[in-house]
Amino acid sequence: MRTVNQHAWWFVLPVLLLVAFNALVPLMTVVNYSVQETFGNNVFFWSGLRWFEDVMTSPRFHAALGRQLLFTGLILLIEVPLGVAIALAMPRSGPWVSVCLVLMALPLLIPWNVVGAMWNIFALPDIGLLGYALNNWLGIPYNYTQNPLAAWFTIVLMDVWHWTSLVVLLAYAGLVSIPDAYYQAAKIDGARPWAVFRYIQLPKMKRVLTIAILLRFMDSFNIYTEVSVLTGGGPGNSTTLLSIDLVKIALGQFDLGRAAAMSLIYFLITLLVSWIFYAVMTKDEPS
């Protein structure tokens, strides 16, 4: 019987302890704030579950959550199919492979606040390339600072430009891992391109697509910096997503108890939906 050496865990243990400490201390602080009330001077009063009840019954929270779910749904519906389509169109061999991979990776290297600032200038209705083209060349009225629909179009387009590359790279990694024997067998059988995609490529990409969907859900559901820099939640509250509303409550209103309860509910929703996605996408896989 083979003996497994588990001593390598001792090398990983310091990192695990450090990560656990950095995660647990802020989490316990948030939990502490969520069940107490403070009026400053570091004086706290026990409030129980009052803040959770206020958040769960607040129309403001429901509206922000609805906008967040709408944004995330649009992102998943656009980026996942688009990323797969681009990955399918990319070459599998030759010098253009490196060129395509570098071009796909470039948007991912740009910091989030820089992305928001870039699109803020790019989409300005008078001097921005996007705004000028829509208003003057195509004759489409466009002003994301005043029109809620234009603002939504801009933040969705910005996220698609920034993060579709992640889906492309993951899908491409799944495609290149498929052995040529599968394609040769499909060619012999006279399979059409759609049949090859449905029965060969898509099943082989299932694991990487699961990762892509989970990553894009968590990232888009917790997006803050790009939208905050681009629209600030405006015009009005039309793009005030849940993350932006949370920051406004915590820092703008300094309502720490409500913000802490809201952040915990936010965290639990993210975990629950991520678990549902994972369970649905892996239900047919052998345990």
CATH of the domain at 59: 1.10.3720.10
* Residue 137 covered by a domain: yes
Domain hosting residue 87, numbered range: 51-281
* Residue 3 covered by a domain: no
* Residue 264 covered by a domain: yes
* Residue 74 covered by a domain: yes
* Residue 12 covered by a domain: no
Phi–psi pair at 4, nearest 5 degrees: -95, 125
Q: How far does CA 273 lie from the centroid of its chain?
A: 13
Written as tens digits, the pLDDT of the chain (287 aa) is 566 667 777 888 888 888 888 888 888 888 988 998 877 677 778 888 999 999 999 999 999 999 999 999 999 999 999 999 999 999 988 889 999 999 999 999 999 999 999 999 999 988 899 999 999 999 999 999 999 999 999 999 999 999 999 999 999 999 999 998 998 999 888 889 899 999 999 998 988 999 999 999 999 999 999 999 999 999 999 999 999 999 999 988 888 899 999 999 999 999 999 999 888 888 876 65
Q: Which residues of 49-84 are buried (b: 16+ CB within 10 A; e: fewer)?
A: ebbbebbeeeeebeebbebbeebbebbbebbbeebb
d(CA 241, CA 227): 9
For the chain, how many structural domains are there in total? 1
* Residue 90 covered by a domain: yes
* Residue 91 covered by a domain: yes
